[in-house]
Amino acid sequence: MLLKRSSQDRGYADHGWLQSYHTFSFANYYNPNHMSFSSLRVINEDRIQGGGGFATHSHRDMEIITYVLEGQLEHKDSLGNGSVIERGKIQRMTAGTGIAHSEYNASQTEPVHLLQIWILPNQVGLTPSYEEKAIDLTPSQGQFQLIATPTGEQETITLHQDATLAVARLQAGQSLTQAFNPQRHGWLQVSQGQLALNGLDLEQGDGVAISEESSLVLTATRDCEVLLFDLP
């Protein structure tokens, strides 16, 4: 079963310096039909204008993943970490018992485009931690490449949840068939381009809840990139 979450149906907030689309209920956007999916709690597509950003704020009991599509995001946190996240890097914060951080566009002139993803951890009260890794996206061309796992295997970031995150990039006209455990749940998010998933037309910003499916067939109608969550 595939349930499409259309890009244009997402929540939207325009703060001037920030344009943000919310796949699930977040901040002032509340939709009781779209609170979360399995352990996936937040997918926000953010565009932060030059010089803009989030001042220091706190989180608890959440796995927070930052995936930059374009531009550079400067990060600082209460654990003493400071870094600039850009395309080709992935970041994970385990908020656990509490962590504070700030996020700013590293450029004063160019926007930064990113996905911020929250996953519910498998237990509360974890020790806060931070992880950042460079990822070579070359293997994701034409196939799914793991970028987050519970074990940190294959040079992925580590999640405190029985969940994985993979990325695939397809050129227009290219197809990919991916086996999927029908007893698991999945979520496919289109970060760029257009494609069909098992015949369902999708475009940038669309998401699909996946249940009771044993095979996923992706066919790109334009060059595209997708993120696939395998969830409990």
User: Domain extents for the chain?
Assistant: 10-134, 138-231
Q: Residue 194 corresponds to which tokens in the numbers above?
A: 């257009």
Looking at residue 228, its pLDDT comes to 98
Looking at residue 30, its pLDDT comes to 97
pLDDT digits (tens, 9 = 90+) for 162-184: 999 999 999 999 999 999 999 99
CA distances from 1 to 42, 58, 184, 211 (A): 21, 37, 12, 5
CA distances from 133 to 38, 50, 92 (A): 26, 24, 9
Average pLDDT, the chain: 97
Specify the CATH number for 10-134; select among 3.40.50.800, 2.60.120.10, 1.20.1530.20, 2.60.40.1840: 2.60.120.10
Q: Could you tell me if 50 and 113 are in contact, meaning their C-beta atoms sit under 8 angstroms apart?
A: no
**Helices marked H in 97-163:** none
Query: CA-CA distance, 31 to 28, in Å (whole number)?
Result: 10
pLDDT digits (tens, 9 = 90+) for 92-102: 999 999 999 99
Q: Could you tell me if 48 and 14 are in contact, meaning their C-beta atoms sit under 8 angstroms apart?
A: no
Query: CA-CA distance, 11 to 145, in Å (whole number)?
Result: 29
**Cβ-count burial 26-48 (b if 16+ within 10 Å, e if not):** beebeeeebeebbbbbbbbbbbb
Query: CA-CA distance, 193 to 201, in Å (whole number)?
Result: 11
pLDDT digits (tens, 9 = 90+) for 178-204: 999 999 999 999 999 999 999 999 999
Q: How many CA atoms lie within 13 A of 191 on its CB side?
A: 26
Looking at residue 83, its pLDDT comes to 94
At the second CATH level, the architecture of 138-231 is Sandwich (2.60)
Which residue has tokens 């001042």?
A: 55
pLDDT digits (tens, 9 = 90+) for 41-53: 999 999 999 999 9
CA distances from 70 to 49, 191, 194, 203 (A): 12, 11, 18, 18
Query: CA-CA distance, 91 to 84, in Å (whole number)?
Result: 10
3-state SS assignment for residue 139: helix
Q: Could you tell me if 45 and 8 are in contact, meaning their C-beta atoms sit under 8 angstroms apart?
A: no
Same CATH fold assignment for domains 10-134 and 138-231: yes
